[in-house]
Amino acid sequence: MAADNSIPLIIAGPALRHCDEQHFTLWFVSKKPLQNLRLRLIGTEFDRELASDELHCIALGKHAFQYLLRVSQEDLLPKDTLLQYQVYSGNQALFDDIDALSYPQRQSGEFIIKPHINKLLHGSCRNAHHHSGDALVAADTQLAQCTDITQRPALLMMSGDQVYVDDIAGPMLYAIGQVISLLGLEHEQFVDAPLQDSSQISYQPAAMYKRHLDLLPKTQYKAKTAIARWYVNHPIFTSSLAENHLVSLNELIALYLLYWSPELWELIEIPKQVAGLSQANNQRWQREWDHLLAFKAGLKQVRRLMAHIPTYMIFDDHDVTDDWNLTARWELAAYGHAFSKRIIGNALIAYTLFQGLGNAPKRFDSEIIPDLDAFFAAPTPEAQDSLIDKLLAFEHWHYSLQTIPKLLVLDTRTRRWRSESNLGKPSGLMDWEALMEFQAELVNQPNVVIVSPAPMYGVKLIETIQRIATFFGGSLLVDAENWMAHPGTANTLLSIFQHRKTPEQFIILSGDVHYSFSYDIRIRFRQAGPQIYQITSSGLKNQFPEKLLPVFDKFNGWLYGHFSPLNFFTKRKRMSIRGRRPNAERSKRLVNKSGIGIVEIAASGAPTKISVLHSDMSETEFLPPRH
């Protein structure tokens, strides 16, 4: 492993976050505290040293300091104009020595503010060790070919599962252990855990693929009946790939940095041949090693993309853990156990640091930032638990952008509508109060873009299978997470779309499912009414099981096609749903190939082009249904 003095000054970033005509937000991580930071915005008159309230710094470890630069003022950034940023510490330009940060024949840090969204990128589900390619690399390659900066997308929307906390490759866990040591990331004490503190965690290969057996907590509440006794000592964390599930905060910090930092990979060494594993796990290690090698090769391009386009994010389950808050019973088990609550809370702390703060910084100022700063200034178990309690009670993860169309990003994880009939049934993705706040945001808007991590209108056959599994108590097994799974949420959502005062044009961006599709949706038996376009693009680096999805696609077309009478027996019977045809194929509607969604939007708010750019640079365009 490299010595501390070989760590570059900038470990991760820069990444553009919330940027519009009144705000500029930039994220990066340095190896040491920086003095007298000055921001220069070329193309404007802004060039000065930043004030303390414009500069948020957190010491993540001995050699890791996260910076979030956030400047707000009227008419800060002109729209539709070539702009450039540079940050100085004293006389040193911080980003000049970063390799491959600029595009060919362009300056580094060039960006454009486009309050009228005529084009955007969106995607979800980026699993570092999945065998598919990384679509963010393809997006950067396409951007490099764009010579006219005014033709760039207005923003990049990452709609969930930016990291996989619950599905970690063995070589990635080995790398995490090295990064913790290299950067001097703080350890923590545990309660109700097999280990006293995180320093006792082993990152040697022999300790891999065993956390679900000897580290992760299990349910402890008493069973009321003999039949239900099986649920005692059942795993709280339900991911089928939880063998290396992360638990400590320093692991999560290291994971995020490894997802976004090409330099860190050059400072660590991961052997391809290891001892101490079973034959099956040894083969698994080598497969994962190969996939991570390909992932690492694209990180310079991923960084370049995020350095040049404003990027927004929202969590889904794998950013914290699989099946996060899926049922009320899961919540009782998870938050009633001190160690599982700490694991979930650590993931929320990491999400706040690396994703949440950059979306809408002011939302965190009064409720979260004081506790966040206090904990990292003096990390104690009491301060950590207090911060976690604040984050679990926080109700402002959602946010909106005052663009044209207005963009609404929904929190479908923390404000659930719990089942009143059975604690084991799936909770609604948003409760009534959250849905009413959502509806209020829609009033008087001619058109909107909604970001929902899970599709609002899913593949009906798959939803039916999930409903059957739920009836037999297997909602966690099949990840029965869809908007129609809870009657209250489903009916309220459908009523919002049918309300007379809602916008005339809806674009819904979603992900989660590991395949891509697009629907055109209308209200049945109404001449006027909203035009709804749902566009699902998933995953950035993930796919659905290859042999299974074509079967679902074919049977869904047979059973729930546009003219099928079975549609009148579903909750969405009042809606007419037409699937768009990928590359004009007659019978296919679902695309199972890693990619990033590209949506071009007309002034009316309707999409003029819906496509997916795949990791191999091929493209699928979803064409309107035949009438």
Residue 491 confidence (pLDDT): 86
In this structure, the strands spanning 55-61 and 581-582 are unpaired
* Contact status, residue 519 vs residue 578, Cβ threshold 8 Å: yes
* Contact status, residue 37 vs residue 49, Cβ threshold 8 Å: yes
The answer as to whether 497 is a domain residue is yes
Find where tokens 């629907």 sit: 519
Which range of residues forms the domain containing residue 515?
398-627
The answer as to whether 330 is a domain residue is no
Find where tokens 């950034």 sit: 77
Residue 463 confidence (pLDDT): 67
Tell me which H or E stretch contains 92.
Answer: strand 92-93
Identify the segments of the chain with pLDDT beneath 70.
1-4, 220-233, 460-481, 485, 525-528, 555, 558-560, 562-573, 627
Residue 507 confidence (pLDDT): 96
Measured CA distances, 114 to 77, 118, 151, 247 (Å): 10, 8, 10, 40
CA distance 457 to 521: 9
Q: What is the 3-state secondary structure (H, E, C) of 47-87?
A: EEECCHHHEEEEEEECCEEEEEEEEECCCCCCCCCCEEEEE
The answer as to whether 546 is a domain residue is yes
- Residue 83 phi/psi, 5-degree rounding, is -125, 165
Residue 97 confidence (pLDDT): 92
Mean pLDDT (the chain) is 90
CA distance 139 to 162: 16
Residue 3 confidence (pLDDT): 53
Residue 223 confidence (pLDDT): 47
The answer as to whether 123 is a domain residue is no
Residue 577 confidence (pLDDT): 83
The answer as to whether 620 is a domain residue is yes
Residue 371 confidence (pLDDT): 97
The answer as to whether 622 is a domain residue is yes
Tell me which H or E stretch contains 622.
Answer: strand 619-623
- Which ranges in 125-228 belong to alpha helices (H)? 135-144, 170-183, 211-214
Residue 424 confidence (pLDDT): 79
- Residue 523 phi/psi, 5-degree rounding, is -90, 130
The total number of structural domains that make up the chain:
1
Residue 605 confidence (pLDDT): 92
The answer as to whether 448 is a domain residue is yes
DSSP tag of 27: E
Is the N-terminal amide bond of 453 cis, ω within 30° of 0? no
The answer as to whether 149 is a domain residue is no
Is the N-terminal amide bond of 405 cis, ω within 30° of 0? yes
From the centroid of its chain, how far is CA 341? 21
Q: What is the 3-state secondary structure (H, E, C) of 521-559?
A: EEECCCCCCCEEEEEECCCCECCCCCCCHHHHHHHHHHH
pTM of the full predicted structure? 0.93
Find where tokens 């000055």 sit: 38
